[in-house]
Amino acid sequence: MSDQLIFAIEVILNGLMAGVLYALVALGFVLIYKASGIFNYAQGVMALFAAMTLVGIMNGQVPFAHLINAIFGGHITHFGWNIPALLAIILTMGVMVLLAWAVQQFVMRHLVGQEPIILFMATIGLAYFLEGVADLMWGSEIKTLDVGLPQGLNVWIDDTTYGIFGYGFFIDNLDIVATVIAALLVAALVAFSQYTKQGRAMRAVADDHQAALSVGISLNFIWVLVWSVAGFVALVAGIMWGTKSGVQFSLSLIALKALPVLMLGGFTSIPGAIVGGLIIGVGEKLFEFAIGPMVGGATENWFAYVLALIFLVFRPQGLFGEKIIERV
């Protein structure tokens, strides 16, 4: 087997793992869009906010310490203790549920019945608001996130590790763990949507708000539930990406990478988010491997958007999205 073929297989494996992470971010968009028809521009910032909150809780950092010190002239920064990662994750999830309730109570509840563009603009405002709150709460410096996930390159070679056909591969341990966790989370979300009472209620709300109301389903509860689940997805995505590249404000830009995934898979399909993520992940890696050297490289920055543009021209609803026909 040639070195080029071995490297191509390694590229595909890394692309699949990156694709699962893209799909994980896209799932947050799909969940909210299915239940409320809102494209949540703030999903990436929710991942940033969750990751920063997790780091702050783990380190025992005082929320709004800079603001408190500026007002009262103190020098308080930390409580003086560190919290174990698992407990910190649970506490952070509690914060995300509280955030979901606040978003529904103070923002979305007042916009019921508004045009989709109004709801979209509201999520843009929410994104910048959350980014500012995260800065005030935890500071703007780059933070290291370590919840105990294995990191570093794993060299798969011959008898020493797992190699395939006796050849070696370089795979990031974090990518392997992230892929497994993301796959389990996707399976859990599908099972929740299909086989639980709350999941069926979410699907009913997604199909028809008025019909769901007529059978006694509480829209407020369902929307808080959906935003909470999206917050949990954002927390998992924030942990994976924050562990990989550090917790910094550029983390919120992962939402932009989810857009091509949604365009390929469809805005209303959980399986579509998964397939779209895998296509984007593998496609951008293979394109960089095969075509990148001919055009000066850096094709991963734009390949996904070009592919999404092609899909918009020939199949606007995506691979698994619903084709919507409106009477005018």
pLDDT digits (tens, 9 = 90+) for 153-203: 555 444 434 444 445 566 777 778 888 888 888 788 878 877 888 888 887
CATH number for the domain spanning 97: value is: 1.10.3470
Q: What is the DSSP string of 72-97?
A: H-----B-S----HHHHHHHHHHHHH
Predicted TM-score of the model (pTM): 0.85
Domain with 87, as residue range(s), is 3-314
Residues 36-71 pLDDT 10s:
778 888 888 999 999 999 999 999 988 988 888 888
Residues 5-26 pLDDT 10s:
777 777 888 888 888 888 888 8
Residue 170 confidence (pLDDT):
67
Residue 325 lies in a domain: no
Residue 198 lies in a domain: yes
Residues 250-287 pLDDT 10s:
777 777 778 888 888 888 788 888 888 889 988 888 88
Residue 270 confidence (pLDDT):
80
Residue 124 lies in a domain: yes
Q: What is the DSSP letter of 250?
A: G
- CB atoms under 10 Å from CB of 170, counted, come to 13
Q: What does the alpha-carbon distance between residue 22 and residue 273 come to, in Å, rounded to a whole number? A: 8
Three-class secondary structure of residue 218 per DSSP: coil
Among 57-61, 144-148, 216-220, the minimum mean pLDDT is found in 216-220
Residue 322 confidence (pLDDT):
65
Residues 100-125 pLDDT 10s:
999 988 888 888 777 878 888 999 99
Residues 204-216, mean pLDDT to the nearest whole number: 76
Residue 44 confidence (pLDDT):
87
- What are the backbone angles phi and psi of residue 172, rounded to the nearest 5°? -75, 125
What is the total count of domains within the chain?
1
Residues 202-220, mean pLDDT to the nearest whole number: 77
The DSSP bridge partners found for residue 164 are: 167
More confident residue, 29 or 49: 49
